Structure 1
Amino acid sequence: MLSLHEPSASIGRRRTGCWLPTIATMAKNEKKTILTISRKALFDVMLAATTGVLLTASFPRIGWEFLAWVAFIPLLFSIKDAQPAASFRMGFLAGLVHYTTLLYWVAGVAHHYGQLPGALCALILMLLVFYLSLYPAFFAMVIGKLRARSIPYYATGPFIWSALEYVRSFLLSGFPWENLGHSQYNRLHLIQVSDILGVYGLSALIMAVNAVLFETWDNISRNRGFAWKSTLSVVLVTACFLTYGTWRIGEIDRAVEAAPKRTIALVQGNIDQYKKWLPSFQHETLQRYGSLSADALKSAPDLMIWPETALPFYFLYDRNLTRETLEIVRTCGVHFVLGSPSFRKMGEEIRYYNSAYLVDPHGRVLGKYDKVHLVPYGEYVPLKRYFPFLGKMVEAVGDFDSGRKGQVLLWGREKIGVLICFEAIFPELARSMVQNGSQLLINITNDAWFGRSSAPYQHLSMVVFRAVENHLAVARAANSGISAFVDPVGRLLDETPLFEKAIRSRSLPMMNYKSFYSRHGDVFAIGCVLL
């Protein structure tokens, strides 16, 4: 019996000895696989985060605009073999890093001027960032899915990205802050195409360059050769943009020389935001603006511009302060654009507006523009009916109402359009004024809310595109800076420093011009959405 069982036991021992190394090897290989996956996942996270950092660095205040042309390459690498859900996460992460570092100043505004706790300010910022990050997340998921079907990034990315930027400009009241194309605001020859395609056309080109560089690198690394067709295509389109820009600058410069001119003076009062609305400081505010306006008369201006709510009272209602203001106007003997809050009684209801008045040298009011696109939670409370506990972040008498879109002010025989504060980031508002005959655009703003953050520089960069899209000059008066002029091809002129009293004067052309973009709007962007 023993002889019968011994072989069996021996075989069992041999079998056990044979399997033990195999199990150990499998466990070791599985551990290596897990480590490899973990390292790849960590590397992909780093790539996506790098895209966010590069994007922010391409915008003011860092302003390394060349980075925009390569910023998306790390993200594209991180999603090239990923499933849709993983691509969505990588895109969301890239957006999270980008918008947090781009819009960090939102928390500061809420804390310093909204008097909100730090934790709540951080929550407000992150809610905004989470919402905005959905756009690059959706972008990454869609182009990744299409690439899995052998459709390369360069064939889809430019159009999907531009479509998403356009949707972001109006969805949930709209927030087209620093679109990809805005990073190139100081590249005059490139941005002239905005008078046809809007900023979205430039965004598409930048994305196309990113995609082609990625595909070229990826093909070479996989020994598939150089992507000649796509590379030549994007080089040709870029050359067309630059050639068109060179020709258009020459054409517009010649039109500017022939156009009638008006001398415009900008007055930057640099009024402390904490004191601005104090009744005890109102007289001093008027004295400061009056003194600066008197100094500006040396340039013999035709029009003097004071910033948004430069008058910290209800103009034409507060009699003594209104009388003092009109005395300054009569003494100067020129036309004025004055920023002031206003109200209108509608039966038992009172409606408040953020307004700009055009006043002639005799103190007569020639016209009034009421701000159309209001700042959520700054000038009105969205969804107030459903969330009555929500309040505005800034002090005000009540919710503001919107004015009439496209309204222009008649200045003698000429027409001017006024954009108040962040209305200047919405191209359709400027375009509606040009369609109604505006020959000059004015932007009055109070960027003191932003402190010395990058926000004032970002805000100014977008104003450049309103000039280029419509080929009109822009005169920008800001309470604490940055005040500046923008000529019809986008040159920034006479910029003021932040938080200093300043005056600037310049002769500007009154252009009777309507570009393709002025007449037809966002045809390219809408086409991208329809695709």
Structure 2
Amino acid sequence: MEHFAQRILLLPGWRRAALSVALGALTALTQAPFHLFAIGFVTFPLLVWLLDGAVGTTPGKASGALRAAFRIGWLFGLGYFAAGIWWLANALLVEAPEFAWAIPLAVLGLPAVLAVFYGAACALARLAWSDGVGRIAALAAAFGLAEWARSFILTGFPWNAIGYALMPSPVLMQSAAIGGIFAVSAFAVLVFALPAQLAARRGAAITAVALCVVLVGAHAGFGIWRLAQAGDLAVARDDAPVIRLVQPAIAQEQKMDREARAATFQTLLDLTALDAAPDEAPAAGDQAEAQGPASGRAPDIVVWPETSVPYLLTRDAAALASIGETLLPEQMLLAGAVREEPGEQAGSVTGRYYNSVMAVTTGGVIAGAADKVHLVPFGEYLPFADLLSAIGLRAVAAADRGYSAAPARTTITLQGGLTVLPLVCYESIFPKLAVPPSGQRVDAIVNVTNDAWFGRTPGPWQHLHQTRLRAVETGLPIIRVANNGISAVVDPQGRIVARIGHDVRAVADALLPDAAQPLFPERQREINFWLFLSILSAIAITARIRLRAFGGN
């Protein structure tokens, strides 16, 4: 193994670059829907050996080593993100004549920007590089910091954080309750990279492998213990609200067709009016997570996906009346819809539009609404709008109006006192947005989305997987409804209670699981994250100081 590591370390020029990209692309297979997490135990040791050889053009010169490390990390990130989120380009094909020119930006441009975070992580780790486990601790801490930074810099896009690779199933998700996804990301890099020590002397190699086995075992063991403590929360109490997931599976082209609006709306009404329905049999791998039908009871709460209503409900009394007539007594609808807020500016009537979740009663009355806070740049709004709109650009998913961001998150209280926190579309990948607003009690998170933009690609599966982790972190069940899938009810341990598969037009009824007390409140999870990074950094710095003391560089 030492001979093989030396060959990787000494790779020249383009071979080093090609291997860096290939390792990143292979690592993307650790994410949903593939979940081949064992690949990480190969790709990260090879990344460590590449970084061992990051000496720059002038050996011994620190700046050259940092540039070489950044280049390796950036190329690794380019491969990882290009292979992991290429499906974003599918959204540009919906209106191909107008947006096809931007496909290279989605396939390579965005990955190139996101790869900067991994390049910076590798350069930062190289500052504290040593020749043992210390360098692996440095890499883990740097990647954890990079994933955290990726959640807010340039509005944030923490999609496919490395930590999700180590959490393919509920039993392996529970560690997120300790320090959140960013702590698990640092932990994932630590355990993935430890086999790099197989190239060290025999004693160090055995120690590193034993440590890796212990850490992975602790990760799994904690999950087993926590699920045993929680019990079978998938079987909710009999008087729990019955939730109906409505998945219309309407093609994005049809949703945008003004002539098809009446048919689209009628599909939603027809699905809402169906008799009590069992949830769909879960996909392979989820068999242990399934719950049976909701005792034949009529739904208490019906949920429609993001922007499902093809009309402006604040203007269209007939549409509201149709909803009211379709709902049963005491039922309530949570509908993804565009909310208009009229206004006046410079003497002319203008308006703001929000991507919202609206609560509608059996009387056809809008009883509450929550607007999206974190909009998708270039998707729902156009950054530098005055400049870019002047050259003919517009946001992909916002038609001609563009959306406005809500100033703050809002909860909705339904009949019976149930309070939900709506998260619209990719808001569910931001851990902070899933935390209830200060001082407010929340019974469940409602995530409405329209992943039809991305077709049958890994995107919808990745989105569902990441959303499930918000339940584990917060202790709140999640009601997730997607236009074309994957819709699901998720309990506080990340287990799927009810599910509708991809591209299936159907409804699923399920009892809403009770919320659970989170293992740690959000503030403590943040403290745990920084404490873990501090421990890793201390190990790395100590190893670096010892190396320098014995004449290393």
TM-score by length of 2: 0.82
In structure 1, C-alpha distance between the alignment counterparts of 2:192 and 2:251, rounded to whole Å: 44
8 Å contact from structure 1 (residues 58, 68) kept in 2: yes
Which of the residues 138, 149, 160 maps onto 1:178?
160
Match of 2:413 among 410, 415, 421: 410
Alignment-mate amino acid for residue 410 of structure 2? Q
Report the CA distance shift for 1:37/1:288 in structure 2 as closer, same or farther (over 3 A): closer
**Which residue in the other structure is 2:315 paired with?**
317
Matches of 1:272 and 1:315, distance apart in 2:
22
Segment drifting more, 232-241 vs 199-208: 232-241
CA distance in structure 2 between the aligned counterparts of 1:111 and 1:49, rounded to whole angstroms: 26
Q: Any idea what SS the aligned residue of 1:488 has?
A: coil
Looking at structure 1, the residues matched to 43 and 428 of structure 2 have their Cα atoms a distance apart, in angstroms, of 26
278-287 or 501-510: bigger deviation: 278-287
Q: Following the alignment from structure 1 to structure 2, what is the Cα–Cα distance between the partners of residues 161 and 528?
A: 12
Contact (CA 8 Å) 1:311, 1:338: kept in 2 or not? yes
Residue 243 of structure 1 aligns with an amino acid whose one-letter code is G
* 1:280 correspondence with 2:259: yes
The equivalent of 1:19 in structure 2 is none
CA RMSD of aligned residues (A): 2.7
Deviation at 1:154, TM superposition (A): 2.3
Q: How does 1:335-414 map to 2 (within 5 A)?
A: 335-348=332-345, 349-388=350-389, 389=391, 390-411=393-414, 412-414=416-418
User: Is 1:507 paired with 2:511?
Assistant: yes
8 Å CA contact 1:256, 1:511 repeated in 2? no
The letter for the 1-side match of 2:31 is F
Residue aligning to 1:131: 113
- What residue in structure 1 maps to residue 289 of structure 2? none
Deviations 1:75-112 (A, max 9, x none): 11112122222222111111111111111112221233
Following superposition, the deviation at residue 59 of structure 1 comes to 1.2
SS of the aligned residue for 1:311 comes to: coil
Q: Which one has the bigger helix percentage?
A: 1
CA–CA separation in structure 1 for the residues paired with 2:386 and 2:178: 41
- Cross-structure match for 1:158: 140
Contact 2:71 2:119 in 1 (8 A): yes
Cα offset, 1:39, TM superposition: 5.6
Stretch deviating more after TM superposition (66-75 or 111-120): 111-120
Q: CA deviation at 1:46?
A: 4.1
Aligned equivalents of 1:206, 1:427: Cα separation in 2: 18
Equivalent-residue separation in structure 2 for 1:288 and 1:152 (angstroms): 59
**1:241 is matched with which residue: 209, 219, 222?**
219
In structure 2, distance between residues paired with 1:512 and 1:346: 42
Partner of 1:76: 48
User: How many residues are paired up?
Assistant: 492
TM-superposed deviation, 1:269: 0.8
Q: Please, which of 56, 73, 81 is the counterpart of residue 28 of structure 2?
A: 56
**C-alpha spacing 1:228/1:249, structure 2 compared with 1 (3 Å):** same
- Residue 513 of structure 1 and its aligned partner are, at CA, apart by 2.9
Contact kept? 1:185, 1:464, Cα under 8 Å: no
Shift of residue 258, structure 1, vs aligned partner = 7.9
Give the whole-Å Cα distance in 1 for the aligned partners of 2:400 and 2:321: 23
In structure 2, relative to structure 1, the CA distance for the partners of 1:66 and 1:493 (3 Å cut) is farther
Q: Which residue is 2:494 aligned to?
A: 490
Could you tell me which residue of structure 1 aligns to residue 276 of structure 2?
297
- For residues 345-384 of structure 1, what are the alpha-carbon distances to aligned partners after superposition, in whole Å with 9 as ceiling and x for unaligned? 2333421101111123333332111111111111111122
Pick closer, same or farther for the CA change 1:257–1:61 going to 2, 3 Å. closer
Provide the secondary structure at the position in 1 that maps to 2:385. coil
Q: TM-score scaled to structure 1, two decimals?
A: 0.85
Q: Is the 8 A contact 1:68 1:180 kept in 2?
A: no
Which secondary structure does the structure 2 equivalent of 1:367 belong to?
A: strand
Aligned pairs for 1:107-146 (under 5 A) are 107-113=89-95, 115-116=97-98, 118-146=100-128
TM-aligned CA distance change 1:442 to 1:185, over 3 Å = farther
Aligned to 1:476: 480
Distance 1:206 1:234, change over 3 A: same
CA shift, 1:135, in A, is 1.4
Give 3-state SS (helix, strand or coil) of 1:121's partner. helix
Answer yes or no: is 1:264 the counterpart of 2:236.
no
| Matched-pair contact (CA < 8 Å) for 1:293–1:332 | no
Counterparts of 1:157 and 1:227, CA distance in 2: 18
Q: CA deviation at 1:400?
A: 1.1
The alignment-based identity, stated in percent, is 27
CA pair 243-80 structure 1, distance change in 2 beyond 3 A? same
Cα distance 1:61–1:257, how it changes in 2: closer, same or farther (>3 A)? closer
Pick aligned residue for 2:304 from 303, 306, 318: 306
Runs of 5+ in structure 2 lacking a partner? 1-7, 56-64, 278-295, 538-553
Give SS of 1:472's match.
coil
Match of 1:67 in 2: 39
**Distance across 2 between alignment mates of 1:241 and 1:37:** 31
Q: Is the 8 A contact 1:198 1:517 kept in 2?
A: no
Say yes or no: does 1:218 pair with 2:199: yes
SS of alignment partner, residue 522 of structure 1: helix
| Structure 1 residues 114 and 323: CA distance shift in structure 2, 3 A | farther
CA contact (8 A) 1:482 1:498 kept: yes
- The whole-number CA distance in structure 1 between the counterparts of 2:166 and 2:268 is 35
Do the aligned partners of 1:95 and 1:136 also contact (CA within 8 Å) in 2?
A: yes
The amino acid that maps onto 2:26 is: L
2:80 — aligned with what? Answer: 98
Q: For the Cα contact (< 8 Å) 1:336–1:360, is it kept in 2? A: yes
Q: CA deviation at 1:151?
A: 7.5
CA displacement, residues 91-136 of structure 1 (integer Å, 9 cap, x when unaligned):
1111111111111112221233364454432134322111111112
Greater CA drift, 371-380 or 285-294:
285-294
Describe the superposition over 1:162-186 as per-residue Cα deviations: whole angstroms up to 9, x where unpaired: 1110000000000010101112343
| Cα displacement string for residues 439-468 of structure 1 (whole angstroms, at most 9, x for unaligned residues) | 111111111000111111111110110111
Equivalent residues of 2:9, 2:52 under 8 A apart: no
Q: Is the 8 A contact 2:140 2:187 kept in 1?
A: yes
Unaligned runs of 5+ in 1: 1-35
Alignment partner, residue 173 of structure 2: 191
Amino acid at match of 1:367: G
Correspondence for 1:431 among 428, 432, 435 = 435
Q: In structure 1, how many angstroms separate the alpha carbons of the residues matched to 2:154 and 2:423?
A: 20
